[in-house]
Amino acid sequence: MRLDRFLSESTEMTRGLAKRALLRGEVTVNGQLEKKAARHVQSDDCVTWLGEALEPVGLRYIMLNKPGGVECTARRELYPRVVDLLDVAKPERLHSVGRLDVDSTGLILITDDGQWSHRITAPSRHCPKVYRATLARPLEGAGAQRAIRAFAEGVELQGDKTPTLPARLECLDPYQVRLTIQEGRYHQVRRMLAAIGNHVEALHREAVGDLPLDETLAPGEWRELEASEVALF
C-alpha cells in the first residue's frame, strides 16, 4: 500500500497529516528517510515515525454483548455508541454489522471489513438471526399454535408491501419466545409480535447465522472473533 495510507492505518494521523509528517522528515523506511507519500510499502518493510516502528491495524472482527441504552450508529447522538465500548485503535473505521435498537441487547458484530459485513446483511443472503423476546402478555395454548403457523407462513406488517419471509417461533414459556428470522426489516421482531396482538417488553439477540453470543461475555464486554468464526460467513 502507499506510504501515506500505511501511516494513516497505523497511527492516529489522517492521510493529510501523514503527508505533512513525511515532508517534515519524520518517517523512515528500512532506516532511510522517506518523504514520498506514494512510496509503496512492502510487507517486510520496517516503517518508523519519530523513531517508533509501526504496524498497520488490519481488518478487525469483533463480537460484543450489547447492553441496553447503547446505539449502533456511526454518529454521536443521544446515547453512547457500540464502538465507544471498544478499547481499540482507530475505532472510527469500525461499523456494526446490522443494528439492534437502543433498548435491545445481545449479539452485535463489529468490523471494518465491508465485504464480510455485506455477506451477512445482504437481503439475498437470508442470514438467520435468533432473538429471545419477553412478552407483555402470555402466549400459550391455541394462541401460541396460531402464532407459530402464522410466522411460518409469513406475516403482513403495517406499511410493508410484502409479508415477512418464513420465521420460526418457539414458545419457551408463556412470556418468553425465541424467534428466528431471515431478514432485517425495521424493528421486525417487535412488529411481528405486535401483528399478533402482543408487545415486546425486552429483546435479546442470541445468534447471527451459526454464530451464537459467547455466554462468557457480560453486557458491554467484547472479544475478537476466531478465524473459524469469521469463516462462518
Phi-psi region of 126 (alpha: psi -120 to 50; beta: other; left: phi over 0): left
Q: Of 26, 53, 80, which residue constitutes the final position of a domain?
A: 53
What pLDDT does 227 receive? 96
- Residue 76 pLDDT: 78
- 95 and 10, same domain (yes or no): no
Q: Is 192 found in the same domain as 103?
A: yes
Domain check: are 91 and 202 in the same one?
Answer: yes
Task: Give the domain-ending residue among 37, 53, 69.
Answer: 53
Residues 36 and 83 in one domain: no
Asked if residue 183 and residue 155 are part of one domain, the reply reads yes
Residues 158 and 114 in one domain: yes
Beta-carbon count within 10 A of 133 CB: 24
One domain for residues 32 and 91: no
Nearest Cα to Cα of residue 132 among 71, 200, 214:
200
Q: According to DSSP H, which parts of the chain are helical?
A: 3-10, 15-23, 114-121, 141-153, 188-195, 227-230
Instruction: Looking at the structure, tell me whether residues 118 and 71 fall in a common domain.
Output: yes
Q: Of these residues, 44, 84, 87, 101, which one is catalytic?
A: 101
Is 148 found in the same domain as 105?
yes
At residue 155, φ and ψ (nearest 5 deg) are -115, 135
Together in a domain, 45 and 159: no
Give the end of a domain, one of 53, 69, 87.
Answer: 53
Predicted local distance difference test score (pLDDT) of residue 9: 84
pLDDT tens series, the chain, 233 aa: 899 989 988 888 889 999 999 999 999 999 999 999 999 999 899 999 999 999 888 889 999 999 999 999 888 778 999 999 999 988 888 999 999 999 999 999 999 999 999 999 999 999 999 999 999 999 999 999 999 999 999 999 988 999 999 999 999 999 999 999 999 999 999 999 999 999 999 999 999 999 999 999 999 999 999 999 999 99
pLDDT (0 to 100) of residue 138:
97
| pLDDT at site 134 | 98
> What residues pair up with 111 in beta bridges, in sequence order?
61, 95
pLDDT at 160: 93
- Given 3-state DSSP classes, what are the helix, strand and coil percentages for the chain, each rounded to the nearest 5? 25, 25, 50
**Range(s) of the domain holding residue 136:** 61-230
Q: What DSSP designation does 43 have?
A: T
Supply the CATH number for residue 31's domain: 3.10.290.10
Structural domain tally of the chain? Answer: 2
CATH number at residue 182: 3.30.2350.10
- Does one domain contain both 65 and 164? yes
Residues 119 and 14 in one domain: no
Q: According to the model, what pLDDT value does residue 49 have? A: 96
Look at residue 56 in the predicted model and tell me its pLDDT.
82
Q: What is the structure's pLDDT at 45?
A: 93
Contact 72, 99 (CB under 8 A): yes
> Which residues lie below 8 Å from residue 209, measured CB to CB, with a gap of 6+?
120, 127, 128, 129, 232, 233
Residue 101 is a catalytic residue? yes
